[in-house]
A = this chain, B = another copy of it.
Amino acid sequence: MIIKLEKVEVQSRKDMEMIDMTADVDRVVAASGVRDGIVLVMTGHTSSGVLVTEGVECLERDVLAHLERLAPKQPPEGTYGYWHNRYLDSDGRVGFNAGDHLKSILGGVSCFFPVENGVVVRGSRQRVYFIEYDGPLARTVLIQVIGQ
């Protein structure tokens, strides 16, 4: 059994951003020598995500805008508040990114694909995205291949 884990560094440049990681996933699988197995992709951060969707720029904008609608950084005036937006002893500062953690939960933090004959089995429209909700930051995405 072959097991290869690569930690890919990603630098987000905006507060919220979708970064296409598909080429990285393909590269790690090709380098692993795995013919048949799976590849797993995961973010190492709780205000970011990993998800699978179609790779067009207009849809990237829709995904970011819609997750902000569903889990806003600031709740609409006069509605609700976030408990996390208070002084946190553990951080020595006021928490501010509750909405970004919530986006991370809604959009998901990981994905996987089968590998067959050395190739990632991916639908023709499917792309793998790292999604930043709380940037810009230096981030780590885990890509792991398991197989034979």
User: Which residues from chain A sit less than 8 Å from chain B, CB to CB?
Assistant: 1, 3, 5, 36-38, 40, 42-47, 51-54, 56, 58-59, 61-63, 65-66, 69-71, 80, 82-84, 86, 88, 90, 95, 98, 101-102, 104-114, 116, 121-123, 125-126, 140, 142, 144, 146-148
Contact at B101–A83, with CB atoms within 8 Å?
no
Q: A111 CA to B53 CA in the complex, in Å?
A: 16
Count of chain copies: 3
A115 to chain B, nearest CB (A): 9
The chain B residue with its CB closest to the CB of A113 is: B42
**Known: A56-B84, A84-B59. Is A112-B40 also a contact (CB below 8 A)?**
yes
Q: A110 CA to B8 CA in the complex, in Å?
A: 23
Contact at A121–B142, with CB atoms within 8 Å?
yes
Q: A88 CA to B66 CA in the complex, in Å?
A: 20
Provide the residues of chain B in CB contact with A40, threshold 8 Å.
38, 112, 114
Provide the residues of chain B in CB contact with A83, threshold 8 Å.
58-59, 61-62, 65
